[in-house]
Amino acid sequence: MKKALILDRLDRGTILTSLQAGGYNDQLKILKSKVENWESICDILDQDEKNETIVLAKFTEYVLFLFCLPQYKEVGKKLLRKIKNKNHAIFIYHNNFVGEFSCNKNQPWRRDVLDIDDEDDFVSTFSGDSSLETWLKQKCISTDSDIYEVKVKEFVKDINRAEFNVIPYRKLVDIEIAGQNFIESVDQGLIFRVYVPNERLWARELDRFVILFRDYASTAVNSDVKVVQNRTGKGVTFSLYSNDGQIDKDNIGSLFEEFSTFLDLCSKDVEEATRLLEKSGIPKKDLGRIINRYTKESKRLIIDLKHERESKILCIKQRFESEIFEAEISQDIADFVESSLPQTSSPSGVLLGSSQNQINASVVNITNNHIDSMEGIIANEITGNISSTPEDEQLRALIETHIVTTAEKTELKSALDELKDDSLSSNERTISWQKLQGFLGKVADKVGDVGVHLLKKYLEQQI
């Protein structure tokens, strides 16, 4: 029996309707409550031995501050551990998500936040003496208010770092959109999603890479995996679903890495590729046929990647010649173009297609009035018909630096492209915004508060 545990009232009833339509038995528990109630929530999760329960929780500002009270410390840790072991979605107000709270005297909040959550969901309200100092006195806590606020900020960062599925929201509709998407993803077995802009470097090759991954997953794990394509005016989305549940969000990353390694080996070391495939338990009589197929596909993919890159370089040169009215560009410019495009000698390099090599144009003999034009043409040919800004490049660099698995890197970069595709629905772009805001929360310590704030504002401007 499918069950849904709802922690705090989430929205105006949309999510509840989705749960009922999906055949879930739902149970509501309130987090703004005593320690004993939190213990009862842990008991409910303990009783779910078959792991049939999904959890949708809203951590309001008030609840975040409760987590840091001494009397809630142990039960709070226990509750988080049990939520993490379930399919879950935790909603946090976007200002709280980056460490901004209503009790901060230097950043007074407007009353329109009450269109989103109730007044008593915040530590500071808009009437009477509602300072954090007063709140702490009511809880019999002598800690200085500034120190306690820092403690809550660190708690929010810890949640982000601990790989919870934390989803920021600005309005109730954001919770409704993300909640419905979460329920549908769990029910349909969504395991991986990648968006490819039209005319992006290696777009056609990435299409084939995804299909090969689908086939590998079906072969190596013996899982029923399907691919669904959704085309928009500016790109195509590939969604992979595990129909039998053998592949999920927890193991898709390692399987994706395994496939990338296997495909690369097929083009370089067939014996090692065979040994890797043997570990998956595939019958020996089938190994030769499978290896032969992927060896051919990997070598064909390498050739196509090389030819597509050469075609893009030629196109860039011709576009620039037309722009500067010269029959032939200089060798310096040709070298600059060559150095700017990613190159690869392995099939998994197809995933680099949206990454422009950062070359210092000042060390190349190109006049200043040509540099901007050249870089614009190169960026357009690499990223396709999705325009790229310095903020986008900064976000891509952060993703590349701080995300470990190829699968998650690919999904986050896809979310950035989807956010810029105005032919997608507002709901789809909101989900992309939430993924990227979630990522910023995870890397806040490394980027710094100012950097996170600026990128947060930039992302909000895109929806």
At 266-293, the pLDDT tens digits run: 999 999 999 988 888 888 888 899 999 9
- DSSP code for 223: -
Q: Of 34-43, 103-112, 250-259, which range is least confident? A: 103-112
Task: Tell me the torsion sign for CA atoms 279, 275, 263, 402.
Answer: positive
Q: Are 206 and 212 in contact (CB under 8 A)?
A: no
Residue 279: strand, helix, or coil: coil
Between 123 and 275, the more confident residue is 275
Question: Which residues contact residue 125 at a Cβ distance below 8 angstroms, ignoring those fewer than 6 apart?
Answer: 102, 119
Query: Cβ neighbours of residue 16 under 8 Å, at least 6 residues apart?
Result: 6, 26
- Which phi and psi (to 5°) does residue 11 adopt? -150, -150
For the entire predicted model, the pTM comes to 0.86
The closest of 90, 248, 79, 60 to 178, measured between CA atoms, is 90
User: So what's the pLDDT on residue 435?
Assistant: 95
Neighbours of 293 (CB within 10 A): 14
Domains of the chain by residue range: 3-184, 189-388, 411-463
Q: Would you give the DSSP letter of residue 420?
A: T
CB 274 within 8 A of CB 288: no
Rg (CA), the chain: 25
Q: Give per-residue pLDDT as tens, 94-111.
A: 889 988 888 775 665 555
Query: Which one, of 132, 253, 140, lies nearest residue 191 by Cα?
Result: 253
| Average pLDDT over the chain, rounded to an integer | 87
Residue range 375-398: average pLDDT? 86
The per-residue pLDDT for range 294-337, each reduced to its tens digit, is: 999 999 999 999 999 999 999 998 888 888 766 667 787 888 88
Q: How far apart are CA 267 and CA 421, in angstroms?
A: 35
Q: Which residues contact 393 (CB under 8 A, 6 or more apart)?
A: 356
